[in-house]
Amino acid sequence: MSLKVKLHNQTFYLHATGACYWEEQDVVLLADVHLGKSAHFRKHGMAVPSQADDFEYDKLNAVIADFEPSRLWFLGDLFHSYKNAEWHFFEQWSRMQTVEISLVMGNHDLISSNYFNMLGIKTIQHIQMGDVLLTHHPLEKDGIFNIAGHIHPSVKLTGVGRQRLKMPCFFCTDYGMILPAFGDFTGTYAMKPQKGNRIFVCVENEVLELS
């Protein structure tokens, strides 16, 4: 379900859901859940199953159960848009958690910080732990290892029968790591790997590094 890797002299467990457990900090990192996106689309007439967001809570619970972290940090775009009916379910879920939760604000995080703060969730613009910088938008900065989201990275794979698949991935460069979107109801952006990049693909219930 997860793959242990060493990056920037730190230990990370890359989870098949797109979450990442940082062992030295005892924290789960994940990005781009986009809760409420299905409700947002239904409001505009698109036929989207009402259960679409339920899977995200199942995945969140599974990740917390797997790693039992002391902290959970969302790296932006926790919600897709303004407050809607989905907030009620998130409020219920968050009140049941014992893990410390923080949200690095992303471009889609339009809900007032006050609502999160009332749930005991810290809202911040970035988190820096030594020379590791956690943001929503990826950064390239000398001397800094950046962990971010926003891009929804994926890679295109070609099978034996020339079938083509686009798979979500953890995309690592000399500057940092971009996490795949945690939310199922999101698109992806096909990356163009360069020499020296490390690509970890989420395939069904495991994470594999591409050679």
Q: Which of 97, 74, 107, 105 lies closest to 183, judged by CA?
A: 74
Q: What is the mean pLDDT of residues 11-27?
A: 98
Q: What is the mean pLDDT of the chain?
A: 90
- Stronger pLDDT, 130 or 204, i.e. the higher one: 130
- pTM for the model stands at 0.90
Residue 167, beta-bridge partner list: 155
Task: Place 49 in a pLDDT band, splitting at 50, 70 and 90.
Answer: low
pLDDT per residue over 50-102, tens digit each?
A: 555 568 999 999 999 999 999 999 999 999 766 778 899 999 999 999 999 99
Residue type, 134: L
**Residue 135, domain extent:** 2-209
At 183-203, the pLDDT tens digits run: 987 889 999 999 999 999 999
**What's the average model confidence in pLDDT over 159-180?**
88
**Residue 82: CB atoms within 10 Å:** 12
On the question of pLDDT at 158 being above 60, the answer is yes
To the nearest 10 degrees (0 to 180), the angle between helices 54-67 and 86-95 is 20
pLDDT at 55: 85
Q: Please tell me the total number of residues recorded for the chain in this structure.
A: 211
Write the CATH number for 89.
Answer: 3.60.21
- What average pLDDT does range 15-30 have in this prediction? 98
The answer to whether 109 and 79 are in contact (CB under 8 A) is yes
pLDDT at 159 over 70: no
Q: How many domains does the chain have?
A: 1
